[in-house]
Structure 1
Amino acid sequence: MSTIKNNLEHASTEISSTIHLLLFQTDITSRKKVRYLKPLLNKHSDILGWSIDLEDSDKVLRIEAKTNLTEADIMGIVKDRGFHIEVLED
């Protein structure tokens, strides 16, 4: 499976807090590009887990986050690394 996942350890307080899902279309097309973003996404305190589906035509970035993290926050992180990203609409 070409979905790359990184699940961070959840503290008991994080498990009980409200979590929301953010979905984005990206131009992240390889494992090398994922590795470039990995340190930023892993160290972000409001990101509980994330994955990028490299097989999907939209190269979907899926973020499980605390409710105080916004779509704009994620878009800023990804754009700052030179990638295209936009909110994936239903």
Structure 2
Amino acid sequence: MLNVLVFRTNINTDQRIHQAACQLCKLQGQSADAVCRWSIDLEDCDCVLRIETKSLTESDIIRLLTRAGLQCTVLN
């Protein structure tokens, strides 16, 4: 079963998109079902990041992106 995780981020520039993509691709390389699909809505004021995953938690994503220098909080 896929879980959809939704976050408010500061991923609003090409450089930040690249940073996030690199981190998320690392997860995809570690496990085939870690990140099935992801997207960033740059039109939204919260720069919403949506991730479809079978195995990751919100905490996993927040920890990963925070270590990469990005801001990421759960969007309810």
Please classify the TM superposition score into its range, dividing by the shorter chain length. 0.7 to 0.9
More helix by share: 2
Q: Percent identity?
A: 41
**TM-score normalised per structure 2:** 0.86
Greater relative contact order (CA < 8 Å, ≥ 6 in sequence): 2
2:36 equivalent to 1:53: no
Instruction: Give 4+ residue runs of structure 1 displaced > 2 Å after superposition.
Output: none
Which of these residues, 50, 59, 74, is aligned with residue 72 of structure 1?
Answer: 59
Superposition CA RMSD, Å: 1.0
2:75 corresponds in structure 1 to: 88
Instruction: List gaps (5 residues or longer) in structure 2.
Output: none
Cα deviation for residue 27 of structure 1 reads 0.9
Q: Which runs of 5+ in 1 are unaligned?
A: 1-17
Structure 2 matches for 1:35-46, cutoff 5 A? 35-44=18-27, 45=31, 46=34
- CA radius of gyration, larger in: 1
Task: State the shift of 1:59 in Å.
Answer: 0.3
